[in-house]
């Protein structure tokens, strides 16, 4: 199966069209996440989702199930990607609230440095198994710095990521500090189902760089 490509942190139609033209399978929008410089309103998210040609993914963080459901109903994405310390019962409740056609993805944090790779991998594999029980369809394995998962621009510990991806019962997309210069090495070392890239192809937060996107597309074999 060919590597899937998700470009995240999109804020404009122009950038989304550029990503789609260069082979993005998924386009991601960060909605109502105040700590993110790429955050947009749900109204902008709705507009981008409804005009998307690739599969649109809405990224949310630390919101209650009711609020996420409202965003999902308004935007109607292909998937909702959860960031934050979501309680399994809340995730299960959210899965029951959402239409079947909207997938639930879960971002899990992997440190940039792992003192005990085996223990870290085992812990995250157990968490992924729990995710399967509450309706998560896909994992986004992102870098964790202190308590922040995602948006760090720093690669995670790829040898540990490779262990997790190999054992995971769910498809895993690798994220965290990826760009044209290192994505081939990351994919070679970890063998993920896909890669999720945001800051590595930006000219500034929330705006994509056409040259970097083209280099990325070539690096992952999309052109």
> Tell me, what's the pLDDT at 143?
87
Q: How far is CA 96 from CA 60, 91, 103, 132, in A?
A: 17, 9, 11, 14
- How far out from the chain centre does Cα 88 lie? 19
Collapsing DSSP to helix, strand or coil, 90 comes out as helix
d(C-alpha 187, C-alpha 38), whole Å: 25
Whole-number pLDDT of residue 78: 98
What per-residue confidence (pLDDT) applies to 81? 97
CB 208 within 8 A of CB 15: yes
pLDDT at 145: 62
What pLDDT score does 144 carry? 74
Contact 128, 170 (CB under 8 A): yes
Q: Strand, helix or coil at 104?
A: strand
DSSP at 181: T
Is 102 in a helix, a strand, or coil?
coil
Report yes or no: 202 and 169 within 8 Å, Cβ to Cβ. Answer: no
| Helix, strand, coil percent content, the chain, rounded in steps of 5 | 40, 25, 35
Q: How many CB atoms lie within 10 A of CB 95?
A: 18
Contacts of residues 198-202 at CB distance under 8 Å and 24 or more positions apart, as own/partner, are 198/7, 198/8, 198/9, 198/28, 198/38, 198/151, 199/9, 199/151, 199/153, 200/153, 201/7, 202/9
The two structure tokens encoding residue 77: 């994405």
pLDDT by residue for the chain (223 residues), tens only, comes to 689 999 999 999 999 999 999 999 999 999 999 989 999 999 999 999 999 999 999 999 989 999 999 999 999 999 999 998 778 899 999 999 999 999 999 999 998 877 788 999 999 999 999 999 999 999 999 987 655 455 556 788 999 999 999 999 999 999 999 999 999 999 999 999 999 999 999 999 999 999 999 999 999 987 5
Chain CA centroid to CA 175, Å: 7
Of 123, 98, 93, 92, the residue nearest 108 (C-alpha): 123
Whether 205 contacts 199, CB under 8 Å: yes
pTM above 0.85, yes or no: yes
CA atoms of 19 and 145, how far apart (whole Å)? 28
Is the CB of residue 183 less than 8 Å from the CB of residue 151? no
pLDDT at 130: 95
């Amino acid at each position: 199966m060919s590597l899937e490509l998700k470009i995240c942190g999109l804020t404009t139609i122009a950038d989304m069209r550029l990503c789609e033209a260069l082979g993005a399978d998924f386009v991601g929008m960060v909605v109502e996440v105040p700590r993110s410089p790429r955050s947009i309103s749900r109204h902008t998210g709705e507009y981008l989702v409804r005009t998307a040609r690739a599969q649109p993914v809405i990224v949310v963080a630390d919101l209650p199930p009711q609020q996420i459901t409202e965003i999902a109903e308004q935007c109607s994405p292909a998937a909702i990607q959860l960031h934050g310390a979501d309680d399994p019962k809340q995730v299960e409740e959210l899965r029951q609230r959402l239409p079947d056609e909207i997938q639930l993805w879960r971002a899990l944090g992997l440190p940039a440095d792992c003192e005990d790779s085996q223990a870290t991998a085992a812990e995250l594999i157990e968490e992924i198994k729990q995710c399967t029980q509450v309706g998560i369809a896909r994992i986004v394995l992102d870098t964790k710095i202190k308590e922040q998962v995602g948006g760090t621009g720093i690669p995670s510990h790829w040898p540990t990521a490779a262990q997790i991806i190999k054992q995971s019962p769910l498809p895993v997309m690798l994220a965290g500090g990826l760009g044209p210069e290192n994505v081939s090495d990351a994919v070679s070392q970890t063998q993920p189902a896909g890669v999720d890239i945001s800051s590595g192809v930006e000219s500034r937060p929330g705006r994509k760089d056409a040259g970097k996107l083209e280099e990325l597309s070539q690096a992952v074999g999309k052109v």
